[in-house]
Structure 1
Amino acid sequence: MGKGGGAKSTTLAHLLRYWKKMGIPAVAHDADDSDKKESGSLLAWTEMLPAHGDGLGSPVYRAPAPPSLKTEADRLRPAHGLSVIDTKAWDRSKESLQYAAIRAADLLVLALYPSGMEKFRGASIIGAMDDVETMSGHRPKLVCLLTRFNPTASAADDVRKELMDEELHVLDAAIPASESKTGYAQSFGTTPKLKWESDMHKLAKELLREVAP
């Protein structure tokens, strides 16, 4: 969850491939198509891949209307596997799919670019979690993922410390900006390449630890 352009769909596409290779069954729900007139980022990605291949390694479904999201996410979750939701840019409307995703999730991953504006947006999402807990008694576990930052700059380290000072859990794994021809940002519509002990592989392993009982 987070703003548009925060690499949420790109990250999830790569994670699905890694989890497939690691033997972890998963399904994804694309809630990134606000008007239903075109596929969201993740669905569009799968539609661009060769029909004879295995796509992103896991089924990708169009997310249902908000009231049905939790029911469908639970119904389609594989045995001993994951049911993940890819959301669009943050929308605090209580009827939105983002609110429904908070109600449905056991683990909420907040993707943040390390900036003051992003921290402000993150506070809004945490406020929505408070609303959901008040209404339903349910509060997912929250982890913060730093994305799309300059790996040679100090901003990410500064924001990481500020978030931790606020007692938020920041994942050790992080996804820096990568604009090269073989980088994450250029991988849309292709089969994600796997590289063991890369940033994405480390994230895939760390998230599995976070969801383990």
Structure 2
Amino acid sequence: MSSLMFQLPEKGRRVTFIGKGGSTKTHTLAHVRGHWARMGYPTAAIDSDQPGEDEDGSLYAWDQLCGGLVKNSPVVAQYSALHLPGTIAKETPAGGLLGIDTGAWSNTPGGTHHSALAMSDLAVLCLQPAEGELHRSASVWLALKYLEDTTGRRPELVVLFTRTHHNAKANDEARRALEKREITVLESSVPNQQREGGYSRAFGKALDLADDDPMHKVAVEILTKVAIQ
């Protein structure tokens, strides 16, 4: 009998992480995937969000800089919406998890975010719990509606609060606003860590993983969403 915490289907599961620059999206996927691998799950990752001039770098660049975020499982870069579906199908590990890093802040049909969402089992919207960020997430709902209208299906969506502050009133207010719209908000969150060794300074470095890491809680909670019930 498998000793894994949760059972996944043989075909594997696909989880797309979406969010604008500064949402800690790439950092979250890097750490969550590291925890999945640490728990014994086969994992793979695709970077489909080519960084802009004002962004620190991509998941693919991070993987290259540190010599591999997950041993023997390099991040694959695929920035073509035309070729992304084939890459997703190829890279999804049997009985494991594929993490896809993409943007979803332009509701332009034919973007990589549409291709990624169309083939995903779960979409994780990384969002800072601030009123302005909630308004700017509108393109995500539009992208999902476009998918549902054109294909008849859409992945389950959950919101993950990132860059949170302990006991911040904004966290509770944002959660209530989203839940009022019947949007699922994960119980776990990613704290704002600006210190040396924190998430904000982790880019390009090997992952520092531990069971008491908040990202471990995020990894486990996402697993509960895609595991066989």
Instruction: Give your verdict on TM over 0.5.
Output: yes
Q: Match of 1:71, as an amino acid?
A: G
Secondary structure of 2:82's partner?
Answer: helix
| Partner deviation per Cα, 1:123-145 (whole Å, 9 max, x = no partner) | 32112101111101121000000
Aligned to 2:6: none
Q: Distance in 2 between matches of 1:86 and 1:151?
A: 27
Residue 121 of structure 1 deviates from its aligned partner by: 2.2
Residue 158 of structure 1 deviates from its aligned partner by: 1.0
Which structure's residues are more often helix, by fraction? 1
Aligned to 2:64: 47
Aligned CA distance change for structure 1 residues 91 and 124 (closer, same or farther; 3 Å): closer
Q: Distance in 2 between matches of 1:138 and 1:72?
A: 20
Residue 4 of structure 1 deviates from its aligned partner by: 0.9
Of 171, 177, 185 in structure 2, the residue corresponding to residue 170 of structure 1 is 185
Q: Distance in 2 between matches of 1:198 and 1:25?
A: 20
Q: Distance in 2 between matches of 1:27 and 1:192?
A: 16
Residue 152 of structure 1 deviates from its aligned partner by: 3.6
| Partner deviation per Cα, 1:18-60 (whole Å, 9 max, x = no partner) | 111100111111012168xxx951111111114xxx5334321
Q: Distance in 1 between matches of 2:121 and 2:97?
A: 11
Are 1:98 and 2:113 counterparts?
yes
How many matched pairs? 207
Are 1:60 and 2:96 counterparts?
no
Q: Distance in 2 between matches of 1:91 and 1:129?
A: 12
Q: TM-score, normalised by structure 2?
A: 0.84
Q: Distance in 2 between matches of 1:47 and 1:62?
A: 11
Q: After the TM superposition, which parts of structure 1 deviate over 6 Å for at least 4 consecutive aligned residues?
A: none
Aligned to 1:138: 153
Q: Match of 2:65, as an amino acid?
A: M
Q: TM-score, normalised by structure 1?
A: 0.91
Aligned to 1:188: 203
Aligned to 2:139: 124
Are 1:2 and 2:16 counterparts?
no
The unaligned stretches of length 5 or more in structure 2 are 1-17
Q: After superposing the two structures, state which structure 1 stretch, 89-98 or 164-173, moved more.
A: 89-98
The unaligned stretches of length 5 or more in structure 1 are none
8 Å contact 2:122–2:226 — kept in the other structure?
A: yes
Q: Once the two structures are aligned, what percentage of the paired residues are identical?
A: 37
Q: Distance in 2 between matches of 1:120 and 1:209?
A: 28
